[in-house]
């Protein structure tokens, strides 16, 4: 379906910097989809969290994130208010030109990042803890990933991600991934979206030289839900002890294992509208609400 058709949907507005606005029927669809994902989370008795949009850079650095994904990361920046004359220099300068580009003067030190993935907040929140029983958690986060180009609902700088996370011993977490992939597959079948699962890897920078990319190829731990044979609208990810090791999270004295199920809400909206058309009367809201 062409981008023009999407732009004609009442209640949808595309912002060319890689963001979408929702109201009316599109917002109803957004809420219904997230409600469906929350019901999946309820099946795991997942505790829901809210997190702010910033992550401290030193936390992401524990994952070597800036080496693996420098092309995706976004930073909140502010002008340096402590340097004499800096704000005056900004005021007296071009500030924002006719093309919309802001001409910054010296900026304050950057110590934070905009959230690139919802689940990272959990591992930071739980670091240093020794879990005595497996836990299930869920959150919806506004995530930010810089891209070379943007397409409405499909590839955005700012987007919504719902995740369900499990932490515990290896066998328990591995079974969680299998069980909930089956649950999601069953629900997808009811919506008739023609989704197929496929082995995938994370979008590393210079992947061929990154040992993590090579390991994911040798031992696949990521599987994506592929719509229309080309667009990933969600994934399951078995991290093993990666986050437990880097954040010192234990399970009964041993390094904890983790996994997550992730859903990209804008991409799900794209899949529903592509499958059922731009007329909201044809969207399967009742089915989504009853899944």
Give residue 256's pLDDT: 98
pTM: 0.92
Give residue 217's pLDDT: 37
Give residue 252's pLDDT: 98
Query: Residues 6 or more apart from 100 whose CB is under 8 A from it?
Result: none
Cβ atoms < 10 Å from Cβ of 40: 19
The parts of the chain modelled with pLDDT lower than 50 are 205, 211, 213-220
Give residue 188's pLDDT: 84
- Show the tokens assigned to 75: 């930073």
Contact 117/222 with Cβ under 8 angstroms?
no
* H or E element at residue 233: strand 231-240
CA distances from 172 to 18, 128, 178, 242 (A): 38, 21, 10, 16
Phi, psi angle pair for 236, to nearest 5°: -115, 140
CATH architecture of 3-75+115-290: 2-Layer Sandwich (3.30)
Quickly list H helices, 156-208.
Answer: 170-191
Give residue 8's pLDDT: 80
Q: Where do the structural domains in the chain lie, given as residue ranges?
A: 3-75+115-290, 79-109
Give residue 210's pLDDT: 53
- Show the tokens assigned to 89: 């220099």
Count the alpha carbons within 13 Å of 274 in the hemisphere toward its beta carbon.
22
């Amino acid at each position: 379906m062409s981008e023009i058709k999407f732009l004609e949907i009442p209640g949808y507005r595309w912002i060319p910097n890689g963001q979408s606005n929702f109201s009316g029927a599109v917002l109803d669809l957004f809420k219904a989809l997230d409600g469906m994902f929350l019901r999946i989370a309820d099946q795991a008795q997942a505790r829901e969290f809210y997190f702010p949009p910033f992550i401290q850079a030193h936390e992401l650095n524990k994952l070597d994130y800036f080496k693996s994904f420098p092309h995706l990361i976004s930073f909140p920046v502010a002008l340096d208010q402590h340097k004499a004359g800096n704000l005056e220099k900004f005021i007296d300068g071009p500030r924002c030109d006719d093309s919309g580009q802001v001409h910054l003067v010296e900026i304050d030190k950057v110590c934070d990042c905009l959230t690139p993935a919802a689940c990272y907040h959990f591992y930071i929140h739980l670091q240093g803890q020794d879990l005595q029983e497996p836990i299930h958690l869920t959150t919806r986060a506004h995530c930010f990933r810089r891209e070379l180009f943007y397409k409405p609902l499909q590839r955005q700088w700012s987007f919504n991600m719902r995740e369900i996370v499990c932490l515990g011993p290896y066998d328990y977490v591995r079974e969680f991934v299998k069980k909930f992939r089956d649950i999601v597959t069953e629900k997808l079948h009811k919506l008739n979206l023609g989704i197929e699962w496929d082995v995938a890897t994370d979008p590393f920078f210079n992947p061929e030289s990154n040992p993590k990319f090579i390991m994911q190829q040798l031992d696949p731990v990521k599987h994506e839900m592929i719509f229309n044979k080309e667009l990933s609208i969600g994934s399951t990810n078995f991290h093993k002890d990666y986050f437990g090791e880097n954040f010192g999270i234990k399970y009964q004295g041993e390094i904890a294992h983790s996994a997550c199920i992730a859903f990209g809400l804008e991409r799900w909206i794209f899949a529903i509208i592509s499958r059922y058309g731009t007329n909201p009367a044809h969207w399967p809201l009742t089915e989504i609400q009853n899944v």
